[in-house]
Chain A
Amino acid sequence: MASQAIIFRETKDSKGFYILLAVLGAFLALGALAFFHAEHHGHHVTGMTNQVVWGLPHVFAIGLIVAASGALNVGSIGTVFGKKIYQPMGRLSALLAISLLVGGLIVLVLDLGHPDRLIVAMTTYNFKSIFAWNIILYNGFLALSAVYIWTMMDRKVKKFYKLAGVAAFTWRLILTTGTGSIFGFLVARDFYNSAVMAPLFIVMSFAMGLAVFILVLHFAYTWTGRPLGDVVMNRLRYLLAVFIGGVLLLEGARHFTGLYIAQKAGVENFILFDGGIYTQLFWVGQIMLGSLLPLSLIFCRKLANNRVALLLAALFTIVGGFAQLYVILIGGQAYPLVLFPGAEVSSDFFDGVINAYEPSIWELMLGLGGVALTLFMVTIGVKVLRFLPDSLSDAVADPHSK
């Protein structure tokens, strides 16, 4: 296939490696501290309330989980769709997917009221619950990704490579559908109750996962002094643009239809026009910084082959993704439940008022702890096992391009 063989090698010992680990370790420690603090005192130390029951930790957790299934995409394109240029990146893609999922799940779990009862969640299932299905989906995803990596690393099981790749790819589509459905099935809340939630989460996962992959790939290569050519990066660049476009399309569809469905018009107007922070996050965070800016960074002629522009585009895509999740999650809860359509309601339990939410430092620390765990796992992974090709220079990655 290639004129130069692809050689995978562990990253080398270096000062940078340990510095990175130390930094990530510090964030991990802060995350652990936040967990112990909230678990010991109870959730009253967080900003979450009986109105806004899911907060910043859930934004982080769902963001990481969504990105996880997207990160696997790079590998899948190589395996399932037979695009050779992506194949050398398959291992990293699967490693990143596992790490992101674990990072997200740990945040989700540590925010439970009873993390000590995780065993209950793992052993007693209510099969009507999307959440219960998700627990199974997550475990399966971890297992399949691990098998996928195995088929890539061990020649003896190479013949299952394609099969494992296809299985993992299919599974991840179901998984993201499941994550989206966590919201889609909430009949009580007009902002979530929509069939477009599942496909929306799938394209979101494509975009966020790829953005994370681009950043990790770049820094893994530059910090270890390995060559990384423009051919690979430009492929990813345009793929990212396609995914961002996809998110925009589905978001547009969701909000437009929302405005026309009488039941949803209230909350749509709130989010789009007079929701204060949520409106700002939507227009500035998600649409401008998170979608239009990356798109222009990618398509601007002058910035072709410009690595920094690509990295910024990836970074802003992630920022946009988190803004979007914040708007969906918190914004959707900030808007009060409608008990009596067409009437004003009030009570001493915050009926009929916009619910305030101010994330506490603990929630932020917990969320960042999850991110740190992800990066920690990747850093260790590429160090101890052969995840990274020695070189992804143009000559190696795509010898036919010239």
Chain B
Amino acid sequence: MNQNRVDEYRRNFMTTLGGVAAVAAVVPSFVLQTAHAAGEVAAKPVDQAVTNAKRWGMLIDVTKLTDGGAGMVAACKKEHGWGDEAHSADTQKAHWARVVKVTDKLTQNSFSLPVMCQHCENPPCVDVCPTGASMKRADGIVQVNKHICIGCRYCMMACPYKARSFVHEALQDQKPHSPRGMGTVESCNMCVHRIDAGKLPACVEAAPDAVIFGDLNDPNSAVSQAMKTIGGKQIRADLGLNTGVRYHGI
């Protein structure tokens, strides 16, 4: 990044701040976000490309989720509009996130947790995709570039977490910020449109006391600090995927 670029960055950043401050209604939520226990997202200037300086991730404290994560799942559904496909059978409806109840066979110990795309650092879904539609953004967000997805579903075969769904029917009136359509595969994209706008993912916002979101690359971020103290487990850590979504209490 040369100096001009940095200046431009600062200028843009200030404008963004100024712009935000000017709109009274937005101020409270902005303040909330920065001060929020749930983590922080700095607004990225809209004309800047994301870099690998940051890697977004979250820590979900399952012990603090009174509903097992149902509220988070509902927030995701509302944000992206999945799951109401009229013609599809239940087995064919999209599920970007779901609550999984786990009961240990020996101890009968039981807990629930929300499972969505784990935003793997070494994502099998990206490795197998023939066209490169299944992609990892520089900041670690894994998503499907539906423009070049041919709908082969190989990524669904490859994902260990069943995080992906195929859209089995034609859709209408999608959310403008979350395009999704027939014949393509989709999954949790960490609310990439919100992150780019400096907002927290919808599910994180829905469970502010149980989830901490932030930059895993920054050792001082709230999420890194929390993981350092209470730990952050991966589902199927044996696969070595280094997931960006971590859990406490599983």
Contact = CB atoms under 8 A, between A and B. Distances in A.
Interface of A: 41-44, 48-51, 53-54, 112-115, 117-118, 120-121, 124-126, 128-132, 135, 182, 185-189, 333, 337-340, 342-351, 355-356
Nearest to A340: B102
Interface string B103-128: 11110000000010000000010111
25 contacts: A44-B169, A49-B89, A54-B153, A112-B151, A114-B183, A121-B130, A124-B148, A125-B132, A126-B130, A129-B128, A131-B128, A131-B152, A185-B128, A186-B157, A187-B158, A188-B124, A188-B160, A333-B157, A339-B115, A339-B162, A344-B102, A344-B105, A345-B103, A348-B99, A349-B95
B49 interface: no
Contacts of A187: 124, 158, 160, 239
Interface of B: 85, 87-89, 91-95, 98-106, 115, 124, 126-132, 148-154, 156-162, 164-170, 182-185, 235-236, 239, 250
Given A113-B150, A343-B104, A42 B182 contact: yes
Given A113-B185, A128-B127, A345-B103, 20 more contacts: A41-B87, A42-B169, A44-B169, A50-B95, A50-B166, A53-B157, A112-B152, A113-B149, A113-B152, A113-B166, A117-B149, A121-B130, A131-B152, A188-B158, A189-B157, A339-B100, A344-B102, A345-B100, A348-B98, A348-B99
Contacts of B162: 50-51, 337, 339, 349, 351
Contacts of A135: 130
Contacts of A339: 100, 102, 115, 160-162, 235-236
A253 B162 CA distance: 29
A49 B89 CA distance: 8
Contacts of B93: 50
B156 A53 contact: yes
B185 to A, nearest CB: 7
A188 B102 contact: no
Contacts of B88: 44
B92 A188 contact: no
Among B98, B99, B154, chain A packs the most CB atoms within 10 A around the CB of B154
A337 B115 CA distance: 13
B183 A132 contact: no
Contacts of A54: 153, 157
Contacts of A41: 87, 169-170
B17 to A, nearest CB: 39
A115 B105 CA distance: 44
Given A124-B148, A129-B127, A339-B235, A347 B98 contact: yes
Contacts of B89: 44, 49
Given A42-B170, A50-B166, A129-B128, A114 B91 contact: no
A44 B132 contact: no
A302 B124 CA distance: 54
A116 B88 CA distance: 22
Contacts of A118: 150
Contact of A114 (B94, B101, B150, B161): B150
Given A49-B91, A53-B153, A117-B148, A129 B130 contact: yes
